[in-house]
């Protein structure tokens, strides 16, 4: 084999490993920043260091989980119109190389989590255990599969809170869980519409119906909006209600996109939708402005 062939093969392997890390799904680790924002530690450099460490640890462990899942599901993925192009399913990446890579990611991620905080390590182990159970059993259980996805997002939020040692608000748990359910149900709906033979790709997918998923999506969205509204009503900072219009519009916009585009299949595509990006940034500006009393600080500075 020539040096050029070896170099080309090595390049393909590296690209395959990077693709296995799902860079397009790294937005999920942004959930770890919620505790930083809502605990009013956004300007704390030590808190930022801890959260960034937790994000790095979660990214590594999540990457290991992706690789392990793709190894176990490679036969089913080859029957899926989109997943068949994944590195392991397509043959771009060999199983032994992927396995060694997964172990390295897992060990590195857990070590980083331990360095950040013992509770972060505990959450990472919980996330790892949850995904093992999900891959072996829960992903084939109707309804439980989407609920498990929601728990994974809650664990991310808990890791962000544990990294800076602040109180884990039940409102954060509920809103994160419900938002994850909305995205998970929307993704299931997209899969059901695009896959020609749902039973061949995932046994539980063939049990769902479009009507059922539409109803679940509406119910979950309604509960999410009610929960967030109650949070703003009971929150000490009454002006938090100013963010409600953006939350309602964002949820309504997602519902519209689910039924008119393919955005539900890849939630990261939401970041390419200008109205959704504007809504998200507006919500963030209003939320930070209220929590950190930015208008009052500006007025005091001008005096």
Quick one: pLDDT at residue 201? 60
Q: What is the pTM of this model?
A: 0.86
Q: Containing domain of residue 131, as a range? A: 10-165
Quick one: pLDDT at residue 13? 79
Structural domain contains residue 132: yes
Structural domain contains residue 97: yes
251-302 per-position pLDDT tens digit = 999 999 998 888 777 777 888 899 999 999 999 999 999 888 876 666 666 6
| Maximum CA extent, the chain | 75
11-22 per-position pLDDT tens digit = 777 888 888 888
How many residues does the structure list for the chain?
303
Structural domain contains residue 179: no
Domain count, the chain: 1
Distance CA 147, CA 141 (A): 10
Distance CA 267, CA 196 (A): 21
Cβ proximity of 249 and 165 under 8 Å: no
Positions in the chain whose pLDDT score sits under 50: 3
Distance CA 76, CA 128 (A): 22
Which residues does 62 contact at the CB level (< 8 Å), separation at least 6?
A: 22, 25, 28, 29, 127
Structural domain contains residue 170: no
Structural domain contains residue 147: yes
Distance CA 140, CA 164 (A): 36
Which residues does 15 contact at the CB level (< 8 Å), separation at least 6?
A: 87, 92
Question: Which CATH number is 116's domain given?
Answer: 1.10.357.140
Quick one: pLDDT at residue 301? 67
Structural domain contains residue 242: no
The enclosing H or E element of 97 equals helix 95-116
């Amino acid at each position: 084999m020539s040096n050029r062939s070896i170099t080309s093969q090595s390049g393909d392997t590296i690209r395959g490993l990077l693709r296995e890390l799902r860079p397009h799904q790294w937005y999920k680790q942004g959930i770890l920043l919620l505790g930083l924002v809502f605990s009013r530690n956004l300007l704390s450099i030590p808190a930022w260091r801890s959260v960034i460490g937790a994000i790095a640890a979660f990214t590594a462990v999540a990457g290991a989980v992706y690789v392990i899942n793709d190894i176990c599901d490679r036969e089913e993925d080859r029957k899926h119109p989109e997943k068949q192009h994944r590195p392991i399913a397509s043959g771009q990446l060999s199983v032994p190389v992927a396995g060694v890579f997964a172990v390295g990611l897992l060990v590195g991620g857990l070590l980083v989590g331990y360095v950040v905080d013992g509770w972060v390590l505990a959450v990472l182990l919980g996330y790892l255990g949850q995904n093992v159970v999900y891959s072996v059993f829960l992903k084939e259980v109707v309804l439980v599969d989407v609920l498990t996805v929601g728990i994974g997002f809650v664990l991310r939020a808990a890791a962000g809170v544990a990294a800076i040692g602040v109180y884990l608000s039940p409102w954060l748990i509920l809103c994160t869980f419900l938002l994850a359910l909305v995205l998970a149900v929307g993704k299931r709906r997209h899969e059901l519409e695009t896959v020609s033979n749902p039973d061949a790709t995932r046994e539980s997918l063939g049990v769902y119906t479009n009507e059922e998923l539409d109803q679940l999506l509406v119910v979950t969205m309604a509960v999410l909006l009610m929960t967030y509204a109650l949070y703003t009503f009971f929150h000490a900072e009454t002006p938090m209600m100013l963010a409600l219009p953006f939350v309602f519009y964002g949820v309504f916009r997602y519902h519209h996109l689910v039924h008119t585009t393919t955005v539900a299949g890849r939630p990261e595509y939401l970041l390419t939708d200008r109205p959704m990006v504007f809504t998200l940034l507006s919500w963030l500006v209003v939320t930070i402005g209220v929590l950190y009393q930015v208008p009052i600080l500006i007025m005091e500075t001008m005096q």
